[in-house]
Amino acid sequence: MLTNLSIKNYALIDDIDVQFSDGFTTITGETGAGKSILLGGLSLVLGNRADLSSLKDQTQKCIIEAEFDISKYGLQALFEENDVDYEDQTLLRREILPGGKSRAFVNDTPITLDVMKTLGSRLVDVHSQHQTLQLTENEFQLKVVDALAENSERLKSYQSQLDRFQKASKELQGLIDFQSNADKDHDYHSFLLQELETVALQPGIQEVLEVEYEQLNNVEHILEQLAKGHQLLQHEEMGVLGQLSDLKRSLQQLADFGPAYTALNERIQSVFIEMDDIAAELEQLQDTVEANPTRLETVNGQLQKLYDLQKKHQVASVEALMEIKQQLSEKVDVVANIEAKIEEKRTEVNRIKDELEAIAADIRKARNGVIPELKRRLESSLVQLGMPSATFMIEVEPSKTFKHNGKDDLIFLFSANKGSSFGELKKVASGGELSRIMLTIKSILATYEQLPTMMFDEIDTGVSGEISNRMGEIMQEMSKNMQVFSITHLPQVASKGQHQFKVFKEEDELGTSTRMKKLNEDERIKELAEMLGGKVLSESALAHAKQLLG
């Protein structure tokens, strides 16, 4: 519940700081005194948008603080979800700076305006003329039916299943769209893949083929140089090996004359062995190297295919071609298997849909179960509010489509007078009738769910004294389960409050300011008497005021 409200530098308000209690509180004051300003200030701390014109003094910031006791609201999860520290005594603060920017805080933690609005909607339900118009909207009417039907958990289950259904349906459509587009490219992708499959694509294959091509293409030159090398080594008179053999024998004769000669001998021995081995290998290579025009043509063809494919796909390596081949293979496989995937996803969608239909049917059954009781309570309450012939036609019909709150259309028709035809509320109900219907609905809801603090803004406008007396009693009854405020011009309603505040203006040399004070018993009698008979207090008005206060 709202326990304290502080408003500084807002509209006509310099500084207001008031404490509130539970139960039923009424707020009165002359027209133009600033009751709407007070509500406007509260709405800012509940997340409504503001502008620079809200500041009374344009050079100073506006600060609005509202403290709530939220220990019974079960809001810990909401606080945790928005990374805000939870406290049973929670403070909401809104600051509007002279430059026009605003800041929002919960328990001194900076938050976004959206978070403040979400939290504010769970703390205070401000009933204004705009909200009365919500009564004519089908979604609000269904919320009322669902509250009586205790459909909260069913709707959570339904919405979770609806998310799954929508996600699966989107995935199915995505597969169908993919198939439609992929079919156009399938033949081309298959052709490209087959073209790549005709070539043995392996890491390093291009380098191997290029080496082999160079060897085959230069066979005569290679043989010529091998023969020349072999002759240089093995020539009988001038061969390197013969000369090395003479050198080896000379150094062997010096090996015993010291370490330096021994080392030279060993080195020439190694050189001779190496050169002899080279001569043998040159001879062997001459035997193995031979011209092979057929193989040369084959290798050249393979290389040209690789070069052509690289040019076609605009890449520079076999590895890149292999990656393209893998991608094409996946695309071709996907198209080849798409029908099976579509059928699998369609089966999943149908299964989720059947489960969703079952939950929607449970919701519809619960709704239908409470409609007779809702109709009875609405009509009986409206009799006491001066609408003895008011009747409702409320029916639930299955919808063709899944909606966020079920699969139903709600027919919610109203007739104010006996013999009159039924019609939609927005077409056949007057403003005063809508206010009374809304108050009745709020009072019914108060017995079914934990409503936040309720703020009625002149819901009694346009009703007679006796009817307003009954409206006050309804709000008084509601206040047994919740904190209720009523901004009112009617003494009959004002007198029903356990607490009464007066909003008034004060003028001084600096200008006009709106003030607010809690009235004691004598002040309440005077205020009610003025509401009954004007500023000149008559004995009858005072007596009537006392009578209203009991």
Q: What is the mean pLDDT of residues 473-493?
A: 92
Residue 183: what pLDDT? 66
Does residue 147 surpass a pLDDT of 80? yes
- Rounded CA-CA distance 11/64 in Å is 12
The pLDDT value given to residue 529: 94
Tens digits of per-residue pLDDT, 156-179?
Answer: 999 999 999 999 999 999 988 888
Spans of all domains in the chain? 1-134+451-519, 181-336
User: Per mean pLDDT, which range of 86-90, 253-257, 305-309, 329-333 is the poorest?
Assistant: 329-333
Q: Model's pTM, two decimal places? A: 0.68
Contacts of 363 (CB under 8 A, 6+ apart): 146, 149, 151, 154, 155, 158, 406, 407, 408
* Between 234 and 531, the higher pLDDT residue: 531
Mean pLDDT of the 398-414 span: 94
**Mean predicted confidence (pLDDT) in 301-323:** 88
Q: What is the pLDDT of residue 389?
A: 93
Average pLDDT of span 244-263:
87
- Residue 153: what pLDDT? 94
Is the pLDDT reported for residue 206 higher than 90? no
Residue 429: what are its φ and ψ, rounded to 5°? -100, 135
Q: Please give the pLDDT value at position 187.
A: 75
Residue pair 469/488 in contact (Cβ under 8 Å)? The answer is no
| pLDDT digit string, tens, across residues 443-464 | 888 877 777 899 998 888 777 7
Q: Which of 297-311, 330-344, 479-493 has the lowest mean pLDDT?
A: 330-344
Per residue in 494-509, pLDDT (tens digit) is 999 999 999 998 887 7
- The pLDDT value recorded for residue 393 is 94
pLDDT (tens digit per residue) in 514-535: 899 999 999 999 999 999 888 8
- Residue 367 pLDDT > 90: yes
- Could you give the percent of the chain with pLDDT greater than 70? 99
Mean pLDDT of the 128-139 span = 77
pLDDT band at 130 (very low <50, low <70, confident <90, very high): low
Q: Coil, helix or strand for 150?
A: coil
- Lowest mean per-residue pLDDT among 73-77, 148-152, 158-162: 73-77
218 pLDDT tier (thresholds 50, 70, 90): confident
d(CA 433, CA 435): 5
- Round the average pLDDT of the chain to a whole number and report it: 89
Strands of 461-532, DSSP E: 484-487, 499-508, 511-518
| CA dihedral sign, ordered 53, 54, 60, 61 | negative
Express each pLDDT in 13-59 by its tens digit.
889 999 999 999 999 988 877 788 888 889 999 998 877 777 888 88
For residues 375-403, average pLDDT: 93
| Mean pLDDT calculated for residue range 218-233 | 86
> Where is 156: in which H helix or E strand?
helix 152-197
Residue 182: is its pLDDT beyond 80?
no
- Write out the H or E segment, with its range, that includes residue 65: strand 62-69
Which residue would you say has higher pLDDT here, 186 or 532? Answer: 532
Band of residue 193 on the pLDDT scale cut at 50, 70, 90: confident
Q: Which CATH number fits domain 1-134+451-519: 3.40.50.300, 3.30.930.10, 3.40.50.150, 3.30.70.270?
A: 3.40.50.300
